Structure 1
Amino acid sequence: MAGPQRNLTEGPIGRTLMAFALPTLGSSILQSLNGSINAVWIGQFLGQRALAATTNANIIMFLLVAAVFGFGMAATILIGQAMGRRDIDAVRCTLGTAFGLFAIISVLTVILGWLVAPAILHLLATPAEVYPLALGYLRVIFVAMPAGFLTVLLTMALRGTGDSLTPLKFMAVGAVLDVALNPVLIRGFGPIPALGIEGSATATLIANTVSFAALLAYIYAKDLPIRLRGAELRYLVPDPALLRTIVVKGVPMGLQMLVVSVSAMAMIGLVNRHGTATTAAYGAANQLWTYVQMPAMAVGAAVSAMAAQNIGAGRWDRVDRITRAGLLMNLALTGGLLAVLTLLDRHVLWLFLGQDAAAIDIAARVNLIAGWSFILFGVSMVLTATVRANGAVVAPLVILAAALFPVRIGLATLLDPTWGSDAIWWSFPAGSMVSVLLTIGYYRAGTWRKLRVLPTAREEHLPADCEPTAKAMPIG
């Protein structure tokens, strides 16, 4: 196969998995650095009120991304399985339906977001002095979302075809442009007026648009499998059967992000009861955990793409080996990173907490107790990625909700009166252990291997022009 796509159904599993996971990890790091640097620009140039305004807007953005993330993941699974069968027509049909769905969602996001932004900010009890800044920033961000949504869909689709390097390249283009434009548009430069906080949002709008246009041009210039030409453009009209599958499989995956968000807000409420130093320490630990989670998430994405292609190709003999390779890779990457952070934790925490010795002591204890639970988190991520590659999405949602609410939040609340803040920190490994045990049980004994993401066209009465062909199709 020409181009940057990898055939994930052949060759050495460990080496292929590593080569696929590293660019995905690089994309995650770039995305986090982009957000962190932009927060520095806003804080330095516009002050705390502006930073608080972006915090309020980012909550809304996260919920919007969660809403569409699941649909993108469902499309990626379908694309991965079709790619494993070497059914390029099915790949393009799925991409067309998902692209049409995302385009509709994007238009609705701009229109509704612009109109209801004031009501959303009032619902969040945004402080009066922050409200006008948050409203101006949020409305521009809503305009920037369509290009962002469609770029995310294309990058996820590319990973489904076995290409994780192209998304990294265009993520870098968008991140560099966003970071470079932020100070220029916030403060003004030459003929460019100072736009304040709206300048930061405008930088994101420009970066998203340029990144999307450049990625789309590259896909067509390289004639990649997800491009649509001629009669294939009819695939942009969502096919009912494919759309139903994407929505049914996508909603539970989107809900997983919502469950995590609600759990995080509940945990912050418990932490805040223990004073400012504890809250600051927990915030600093969370900054480190953002990066600690990245290897497991990158490995999970790689395992999902590889497993989906092999399931589509009928290579079930490789699926368990892919999972084992992912588990070992997570242990090496996440375990190694945690070991380094444990040795250097006080030096790293100083970057966030300065000379506050009390907060640093608390944060170091938080990391010592809770940090190592991310190895267990990685195990759950890899196993979930495998079962999700065959369309099993409800069981992982139920397991996640059980681990976070009855176990993690429940233990922290129940033991807080006697254990103090330690109850919160110990609830992390407890929740992760329950998640791992339940996920292992489902992986070994669940019915996920018997599922089919999308039955054949004849069974579901798909239109002939969108029927998977089950044979090799030319890419060009």
Structure 2
Amino acid sequence: MFVVPMMLSNILQSLFGTINNVYLGQMIGVDALAAVSVFFPAMFFFVSFVMGLGSGAGVLIGQAWGAGEPAKVKQIAGTTLSIALLLGGLIAVLGGVFSRELLTALATPANILDAAAGYARIMMITMPLTFAYILLSLQMRGVGDTVTPLASLAASTTLGLVLTPVFIRGWLGAPVLGVASAAWASAISTLTTLAWLHLHLRRRKHPLAIDAAFLRGMLPDAKLLRAVLRLGIPAAIGMIVMSLAEMVLIGLVAIGYLFSRVLMGFFITDPAVIEVAQHSLHIVLWSSVLFGISITFSSAMRASGTVWMPLAISAFAIAAIEVPAATWLSRSIGLDGVWLAYPITFAAMMLLQMSYYLVVWRKRTVHRMI
């Protein structure tokens, strides 16, 4: 009952973004989809950092929980939440003022700049909510609870997917919000879910319920914070490095080959573009299985505090294998060469992570870090 809810959570998370993109592409148009997509690199960067914090905190929380120290659990969780909220608040202030400048720096085309800036502004202003939700979900897994994050994500996803088309069309008297519909739907669903989680965790007397002890733990502890950052920063950097490989959703592998034309048709309608996209999916989809195996090995090592070597292996695969392979193959066989670089890289990454895990890591003694 630990792994399955995590898998379902990943599927739901991917499903939310995918269906929201379908709404935007089909109900507004391709420019709306482009306006949302252009903010993705910045959003992924922000989320990567807080997920790195959450991963580091989750390892320490797991050790404290296993040692029977619930007070230490709350202290770690509180310290990490304080830093995440401070960072989220800074992004909210700067994003509210400079969202247009950020999108301009990202080379956003002029015809979608206004829509993209409006979407990005809402996403950044509500970043503290996003950070709190992500962090709390990761911390709950640290105490062995994967069911509550799944239930909260299911509720949040359902509410968000209902609200997005309501705001796009202005149904039931709602304002017509255009491209920003997805951002507002996400913010409302996240806030609602956080309120439910607070009540639910208090009622269950959950070890991560926000009570007086938790609030005291929100006064940052420098020693704990250093331990969290030591584990979390490499994990965050690793996520950013991995994003360069543009992972294809594992959940679509099984159906991708059979329904790739229909799948791409949800997002785009130009037959020529669909043909190119379908062909590209055929080249890349299967290799996401290799990438998933690589992530399994690297995650196991990070959970014990071995964080830099998995990161170094990933960075090496991107810099020394993927980029040269894509460059050389694209010159030799054209666009297909760029896509072929992905399975080559994922295969190399899997072999390198697995080799280090089996030859080196398994022979080490795992020590407590707090």
TM above 0.5, one fold? yes
Tell me the percent identity. 33
Contact kept? 2:103, 2:117, Cα under 8 Å: yes
Pick the aligned partner of 1:433 from 332, 347, 358: 347
TM-aligned CA deviation for residue 227 of structure 1: 2.0
1:184 equivalenced with 2:99 (yes/no):
no
Distance 1:394 1:21, change over 3 A: same
In the alignment, which residue of structure 1 is the partner of 2:261?
A: 349
**Cα distance, 1:157 vs. partner?**
0.9
Aligned partners of 1:395, 1:376: CA distance in 2, in Å? 19
1:164 paired with 2:79, answer no
| Cα displacement string for residues 255-277 of structure 1 (whole angstroms, at most 9, x for unaligned residues) | 1121123344xxxxxxxxxxxxx
What's the counterpart of residue 369 of structure 2? Answer: 454
Mind listing any 5+ residue stretches in structure 1 that lack a counterpart?
1-18, 265-285, 295-336, 456-476
CA distance in 2, matches of 1:130, 1:358: 20
Render the CA deviation track for 1:223-268: whole Å, top value 9, x for unaligned: 111124334421111110011111122111111121123344xxxx
2:144 counterpart SS class = coil
Letter aligned with residue 442 of structure 1: Y
Q: Report which of the two structures shows the higher radius of gyration computed on alpha carbons.
A: 1
Q: Which residue of 2 aligns with 1:87?
A: 69
Of 354-363 and 106-115, the range deviating more from structure 2: 354-363
Residue-by-residue CA offset, 1:366-411 (whole Å, 9 max, x unaligned): 53x5444333323222211211111111111110011122112211
Kindly indicate whether the alpha-carbon contact (under 8 Å) linking 1:77 and 1:389 is maintained by their aligned counterparts in 2: yes
SS of match in other structure, 2:184: helix
What is aligned with 2:324? 410
| Pairs within 5 Å for 1:216-235 | 216-235=198-217
CA change 1:192–1:415 in 2 (3 A) is: closer
Partners of 2:201 and 2:149 in 1: how far apart? 11
CA offset digits 1:39-92 (Å, max 9, x no partner): 222233332322221112233211111121111110011111222222222211
Query: 1:211 maps to which residue?
Result: 193
Please give the per-residue CA displacement for 1:124-163, whole angstroms capped at 9, x wherever unaligned.
Answer: 1212221111122211111222111111111111111111
Task: Please give the TM-score of this superposition, normalised by the length of structure 2.
Answer: 0.90
Alignment correspondent of 1:299: none
Q: 1:59 to 1:425 in 2, by over 3 A?
A: closer
**Match of residue 424 from structure 1:** 338
Alignment of 1:323-338 (within 5 A): 338=253
- Of 170, 178, 183, the match for 1:201: 183
Between the two proteins, the alignment pairs up a number of residues equal to 366
Separation of aligned partners in 1, 2:205 and 2:344: 49
Alignment counterpart, residue 123 of structure 2, candidates 128, 141, 144: 141
1:346 and 1:364 in contact (8 A); partners too: no
TM-superposed CA distance for 1:221, in Å, is 1.0
Where in structure 2 are there 5+ consecutive unaligned residues? none
Letter in 1 for 2:218: L
What residue number does 1:16 align with?
A: none
TM-score, structure 1 as length reference: 0.71
Distance 2:330 2:224 in 1: 48
